[in-house]
């Protein structure tokens, strides 16, 4: 497999970028479902055949930043050969859809929202070996215990307080540990109980370890 690099200029912004072309697809590449003519590789890239050069061209990977300050790679692809409309997709979700579709199906059957975790913490490394399917709580636990990321005030711990007696029932190191025990997939749900002191299962309140009930 031979790789050919060409430097081009963005017509709108004037910024230079590199076009990557291959004389053949990487071994193990699979066509992206719902997008005719686009093939995903296990190395974390997507290619389409370029008739004028008779080569496989890698889709341009656009670096974007989310609200948390993390960088992700996006690509623009067409749903069919005849379509003029481009669809913007997160590259890591495309790769996961192609190669981890069986795990997607299992998660959907359980009714959980699908999250794609970057194992090494590098959100621009979209190789298959660096991706895993999980829930929101699993994502948080991985970030905290494997990548050793901090989550602000939650790091001081949280506790559950009995509604009637006001006594502490349990203490957790972080909100992720609480979510795991009670099978809560959505961090927003757990944080809503924590911020508003709502009754959880009509048994107790959830507060930060440094607080008392109703503070």
The answer to whether 18 and 5 are in contact (CB under 8 A) is yes
Architecture in CATH for domain 3-134: Alpha-Beta Complex (3.90)
pLDDT at 93: 92
Query: What residue ranges of the chain are covered by domains with CATH 3.90.75.20?
Result: 3-134
pLDDT at 206: 79
Q: How far is CA 115 from CA 20, 101, 138, 186, in A?
A: 29, 13, 9, 11
Distance CA 206, CA 178 (A): 10
Distance CA 26, CA 47 (A): 10
Q: Which helix (H) or strand (E) holds 99?
A: helix 91-99
pLDDT at 149: 66
The answer to whether 98 and 119 are in contact (CB under 8 A) is no
pLDDT at 214: 40
pLDDT at 155: 46
Under-50 pLDDT residues of the chain: 106-110, 153-155, 212-215
Distance CA 10, CA 99 (A): 32
Kindly state the tokens that stand for 105: 């199906």
């Amino acid at each position: 497999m031979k790789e050919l690099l060409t430097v081009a200029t963005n017509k709108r912004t004037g910024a230079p970028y590199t076009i990557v072309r291959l004389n053949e697809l990487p071994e193990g590449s699979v066509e992206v479902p719902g997008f005719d003519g686009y093939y995903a590789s296990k190395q974390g890239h997507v290619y389409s055949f370029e008739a004028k050069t008779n080569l496989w061209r890698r889709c341009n990977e656009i670096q974007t930043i989310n609200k948390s300050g993390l960088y992700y790679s996006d690509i623009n692809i067409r749903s069919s050969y005849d379509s003029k409309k481009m669809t913007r997709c997160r590259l890591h979700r495309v790769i996961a859809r192609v190669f981890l579709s069986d795990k997607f199906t299992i998660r959907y059957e359980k009714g959980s929202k699908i999250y794609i975790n970057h194992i090494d913490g590098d959100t621009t490394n979209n190789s298959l070996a660096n991706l895993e399917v999980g829930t929101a709580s699993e994502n948080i636990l991985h970030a905290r215990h494997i990548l050793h990321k901090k989550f602000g005030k939650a790091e001081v711990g949280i506790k559950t307080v009995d509604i009637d007696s006001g006594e502490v029932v349990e203490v957790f190191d972080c909100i992720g540990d609480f979510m795991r025990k009670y099978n809560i997939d959505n961090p927003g749900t757990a944080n809503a109980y924590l911020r508003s002191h709502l009754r959880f299962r009509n048994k107790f309140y959830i507060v930060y370890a440094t607080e008392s009930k109703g503070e």
